[in-house]
Amino acid sequence: MATAPTQEFKIIGTRPVRPDGVDKVTGRAKYGADYSFPGMLHGKVLRSPHAHARIKSINVDKALKLPGVKAVVLGKDLPELESKIEFIGEISLNPHYLAHNVLARDKVLYNGHAVAAVAATSPHIAEEALALIEVDYEVLPPLLDVREAMRSDAPILHPELRNKEEPDKQTNVASHVQFKRGDLEAGFKAADYIVEREFDTSMVHQGYIEPHNAVGVYNSDGHATIYCSTQGAFDVRSMSARVLGMPVGNIKVVPAEIGGGFGGKTTVYLEPLSVALSKATGKPVKLIMTRSEVLRATGPTSGSHIRIKMGATKEGKLTAAEVWMAYEAGAFPGSPVMAGAMTILAPYVLDHLLIDGYDVVLNKPKTAAYRAPGATNAAFASETVIDELAEKCGIDPLQFRIMNGAKEGSLQPAGPPFKRIGMIETCQALANSPHYKSKLVGKNRGRGVAIGFWFNAGMQSTATVNIHTDGSASVVTGSPDIGGSRASMAMIAAEVLGLSFEEVRAVVSDTDSVGHTDVTGGSRVTFATGMAVYEAAQDAVRQLKERAARMWERKFDEIDFQAGKAISKNNGVPPMTVKEIAAKFPRTGGPITGRASVSARGVGAAFAACCIDVEVDPETAKVQVLRATIAQDAGRAIHPSYVEGQMQGGTAQGIGWALNEEYFYDQAGLMRNSGFLDYRMPTCLDLPLIEPVIVEVPNPGHPLGVRGVGEVSIVPPPAAVANAIYRAIGVRMTELPMSPPRLFKAMKNKRS
Amino acid sequence: MHEFSYEAPTTVADAVRLLAAPRDGARVLCGGTDILIQMRAGVRKPSLLVDVKNIPELRQIKFDPKTGLRLGAAVACIEIFESALMHKHYPGLTEAAHLIGSTQIQSRASVGGNLCNGSPAADTTPALIALSAVAHLIGLGGERDVPVEEFVTGPGQTVLKPGELLVDLRIAAPRPHSSDCYLRLIPRNEMDIAVVGVGAAITLEGNRCVAAKIALGAVGPTQIVARKAGEWLVGKELDAAAFEKAGDLASEVCTPIDDMRGTAEYRRHIVDVLTKRALQAAAERARNN
Amino acid sequence: MANKKHVQCTINGEHTEFLCEPRQSLLETLRDVLGLTGSKEGCLTGDCGACSVLVDERVVCSCLMLGVEAEGKTLVTVEGMAEESELHPLQQKFLDNAALQCGICTPGFLVAAKALLDRNPTPSEAEIRYALAGNLCRCTGYDKIVHAVLDAAKVMQEA
């Protein structure tokens, strides 16, 4: 394992047990669905049985007459918001669309679109009430294919939607992004080999095991509290306030433990409804989605159609690339096509490129972020074509990538040059892994490699570090802990304060008790919230030094702080521990709280490289993954076990995406696989052990060298699996997922 | 879920009386691994669930070398898997029972429930049909035996009359040099519904086939007996070509559809592949019996 | 509601009585009637295993069993795994191996792994993967979970 020297650290780089661990292995940890309040009601949501329809009327009389039913909320009961782009927190979105996704008004735009919400004395009664709500629909033709949705004669989802290029025309194309550099024609002219392919990928879901949930408690003084499992309590607060027409400060969001998100729990669905129902009934109201609701009505990530043409000289130098990509936004604008365009060619030095990306609405659920959103679809296309070029050049596929790899100073497709990045080091770490060095033997087996890029996010975070009266400390942040971040926050604080890990408790706080903090997402918690914790701990150290100076009657500059002790530089008094300083708080100025807020700059881009061995059953076209290794640049691994966990988890999701996961719609636009039986995520029998190789090329933009680690590992596996399948049986797959029926068809086409 | 009543009788007679009583439909609750999902989805709305797991006759595995097997309808799949005699005499049926869902599901699900649910993709039904199993039913009007291949009449539909209870499944003792096998194709390695399932039973004299029966699952509205394939094999020396031909014949009789689990074309091909493989495996076992 | 049934059973070693409607699943009964929220709801179709509990020493999905069916049974939930104040070796090894990220699937995995080790104290990696195939984890890729179960088996053998 390639690791940078960590001798300078005592705690960073070790693997302590997470502070919330015992609660989570004993069943004590409280997730959103575990909250209950006296007199609490239960809510359920009526959802559209159609993919596209006009709502002519809704009659709730019968539902309200069912004993136990206390309220029904419809779209018309929520404020109508103007359609325009706003910044809510750091997220730019259109509150009109957000509100219409939470509860449909005049039109339903996908199978599962929320139409009404009911509160009753039991979840069973609320469910029975849904069947009594009479909705008269005028069914409209559904749009299910991204290229059909782009046609000028396609049915229109949003009559008011316009893009900048054709401001006078109704359209389903919400936006077009373009990156351009050099002279494409000259670039392709310089190529000895040109490969041009088209790729289709299906919508896939984040697949967190915990369904969305929310408990809303509205008080008659106009204040409300929401308990929910979310990646961003502050975003839930601001989005819910917008949808409900309430002041932001009147809502408190208490982030419960969260049972997975992967980007999918960064927006609101049930949260505003829980408050609206609570307001209507005067009681706390809890809503929990079923798995079918989660799949049909919360954000998956985009399906896509990508055309890519790349050229290389016979010596293996990439000369030019042209990309055309259309991403499904779902029912409302906002696919990650921009991120797809920013990432698709980013790992490589390319003088001549053209990338066009289109954000397209159609009758599927509104997409939400999913782990490096947009990048996996893109890498499936580009990394397959790169593999084909390497083969034509007769160069080892990993060496081919290293030869063309981006370094510090290389220009990104979007323009700016890279700062210090670890693309080459990551590829080399994979090349040096026992897996890549081993020989794969056996019939119908193949090995594939691919790499992935993700830019990671900075954004805002707040942290406070409280020194307790016994010299221990707590670190309070607003970043929900989705994968062990309490541990890394406590480790950073302990490192700075010179305390043991056990002496520092990490707490995730509600929106009233800590300053604004953006989502747990974008691989940003250890980077940005970690930066805030580092600075807050430094602030506490500064105050500890002040107290020591006061007690010793010295100047501040004469005090040092090392290994948890204040030291007077110029005389022989024995050092003072944090504990000793804390014992004197009442007489030296009161308690110490270190504070920091950051709008983090210096974000460090992440690369991952993946090697996968597969075996294909030549008769059934079923693919078995035999071995997988993932190398990734973490910058600095604070808690290596949880860094490995992110790498392994992302790889597993990428393998699921590669082989079997997809949204399956029938011609009417109804989702036919809205359960874990037929939305096929990998079980532990489907995966091998996944070998993680942590690479540490410190990020110069972070005090501890941290890059984000949460996302990039999902990017390479689908392409790596495709490349492995090619080497096993000679078939190049251009569709995801590469499920047995699809691979069978491709194998048959190749034979004929 | 809608409101319903629950009873847990301890005798067949009480169960039959309870099942016959309500006008708007009573259903048997055995492992609950299908019925509760269907009730949650509003697909079935019985006013009464009759839990049959406390009735001794439905919970036993009885084997007699002369009369064969009586497999209680409510015996959990995991109990079948843990039974040495089931492994010995009916390995194909045993592996089918062990393919149903996870360990959690196998703790509850039963072969009888799998059959009465009437799914075209039920894993144990093709295995039962290959073994020419008979369903023993008791109702208000008395007892009757129905061959399993006639039991399912359509997706979710069976020959069971109101008040009628499946008590056990009866299978003849295996003849010398005979055995069975069940194979299915699923996209993952666990937790999926069969895209195609094939049950095969075979009896040999030397390397010559003297009897063969093949049943196909998930490729038609009910399980399909590939009669022609089985009959063709009789009298043949078993070599690779014979298995290939049987596979071809089996795929001719299936009537699959396109859905989220596979295309019709793919399923037809898989019937061919799995029939060949299941026969090979069954023949290999039969040689050792 | 008049339709409620009186049920007696043993949960985590304690004799327990409760009232529930027939339509309430065992999972709903544990969580909403008895306040044992350690068992989690992930799918309500028996596909994720987050609600796994032991019933008479067999691991089942409590979402696919009715509360009334618990009559006379002996149940163990995740809340009953630790002895006194000491964690079960599986719980400890899940912590030591960082075998949980979000933790929502953890109770179900622990219960299913306990069911495995109770019957097979020395499982191979393949046997562990088979026994846990009914439990979905979306965070870890299962790697550290499999290692944790192997480690726990080892510790329990040595004890």
Quick check: helix, strand or coil at residue B241? Answer: helix
Q: Is B36 on the interface with C (CB under 8 A)?
A: yes
Distance between A672 CA and the closest CA of chain B, angstroms: 7
> Using one digit for the tens of pLDDT, what is the confidence trace for B163-182?
999 999 999 999 999 999 99
Of all residues in chain C, the one with the smallest CA distance to B104 is: C60
What is the average per-residue pLDDT within A395-410?
98
* Number of neighbouring beta carbons within 10 Å of residue A492: 31
Distance CA A668, CA A363 (A): 10
Opening angle at CA A120, ends A118 and A123, nearest 5 = 90
ipTM reported for the complex, 2 dp: 0.98
β-strand partners of A474: A466, A505
What is the average per-residue pLDDT within C115-140?
98
β-strand partners of A630: A610, A692
> Using one digit for the tens of pLDDT, what is the confidence trace for A111-166?
999 999 999 999 999 999 999 999 999 999 999 999 999 999 999 999 999 999 99
* Chain A residues close to B269, C-beta within 8 Å: 744
Reference B33, options B130, B105, B83; nearest CA is B105
pLDDT of A269 strictly over 50: yes
pLDDT of A3 strictly over 50: no
The region that residue A222 occupies, defined by phi over 0 for left and psi between -120 and 50 for alpha, beta otherwise, is left
> Using one digit for the tens of pLDDT, what is the confidence trace for A162-215?
999 999 999 999 999 999 999 999 999 999 999 999 999 999 999 999 999 999
Distance CA B217, CA B127 (A): 9
Give the pLDDT of residue A563.
Answer: 93
Distance CA A97, CA A95 (A): 5
Give the pLDDT of residue C3.
Answer: 84
* Average pLDDT, rounded, for chain B: 96
Tokens coding A146: 């991204």
Tokens coding B240: 């690779």
Distance between C87 CA and the closest CA of chain B, angstroms: 24
Q: Is B108 on the interface with C (CB under 8 A)?
A: yes
Q: Which backbone phi and psi does A382 adopt, to 5 degrees?
A: -70, -40
Low-confidence spans in chain B with pLDDT less than 70: none
Note whether C104 contacts A210, CB cutoff 8 Å: yes
pLDDT of C84 strictly over 90: no
Pairing of strands A107-108, A193-201: unpaired
What is the average per-residue pLDDT within A533-544?
98
Note whether C103 contacts A20, CB cutoff 8 Å: yes
* Average pLDDT, rounded, for chain C: 97
Tokens 């097979």 belong to which residue? C120
Tokens coding A178: 């373009």
Cα distances (Å, whole numbers) of residue A389 to A193, A352, A608, A724, A729: 7, 17, 20, 15, 18
- Let me know: does A217 contact A510? Beta carbons within 8 Å: no
Tokens coding B29: 């609750």
Q: Which other chains touch chain C, taking contact as 3+ CB pairs less than 8 Å apart?
A: A, B
Reference B212, options B181, B188, B191, B185; nearest CA is B181
- Is A220 buried (19+), middle (13-18) or exposed (0-12) by CB count in 10 A? exposed
Note whether B273 contacts A619, CB cutoff 8 Å: yes
Note whether C133 contacts A683, CB cutoff 8 Å: yes
**Among A160-164, A593-597, A718-722, A734-738, which is the least confidently predicted range?**
A160-164
Distance between A426 CA and the closest CA of chain B, angstroms: 31
pLDDT of A1 strictly over 80: no
* Number of neighbouring beta carbons within 10 Å of residue C15: 8
Distance CA C145, CA C142 (A): 5
pLDDT of A5 strictly over 50: no
- Separation of CA A655 from chain center: 17
- Is A444 buried (19+), middle (13-18) or exposed (0-12) by CB count in 10 A? middle
Give the pLDDT of residue B25.
Answer: 87
Q: Is B207 on the interface with C (CB under 8 A)?
A: no
Note whether C64 contacts B78, CB cutoff 8 Å: no
Give the pLDDT of residue A2.
Answer: 37
> Using one digit for the tens of pLDDT, what is the confidence trace for C17-65?
999 999 999 999 999 999 999 999 999 999 999 999 999 999 999 999 9
β-strand partners of B3: none
**Among A77-91, A114-128, C5-19, which is the least confidently predicted range?**
A77-91
Cβ partners under 8 Å of residue A423, min gap 6 = A347, A405, A406, A407, A451, A453, A607, A633
Helix spans in chain C (H): 26-28, 89-96, 106-119, 125-131, 143-158
Partner-chain residue, chosen from B2, B4, B102, that has the shortest CB–CB distance to C133: B102
C2 pLDDT tier (thresholds 50, 70, 90): low
Distance CA B54, CA A746 (A): 52
- pTM of the prediction? 0.97
Give the pLDDT of residue C1.
Answer: 44
* Chain C residues close to A689, C-beta within 8 Å: 125, 143, 146
Tokens coding A247: 């002041």
Crossing angle of the two packed helices A485-497 and A640-659, in degrees rounded to 10: 160
Sheet containing B5-7, strands listed edge to edge, beginning at the edge strand earlier in sequence: B5-7, B48-51, B26-29
Reference C21, options B205, A125, A226; nearest CA is A125
A570 pLDDT tier (thresholds 50, 70, 90): confident
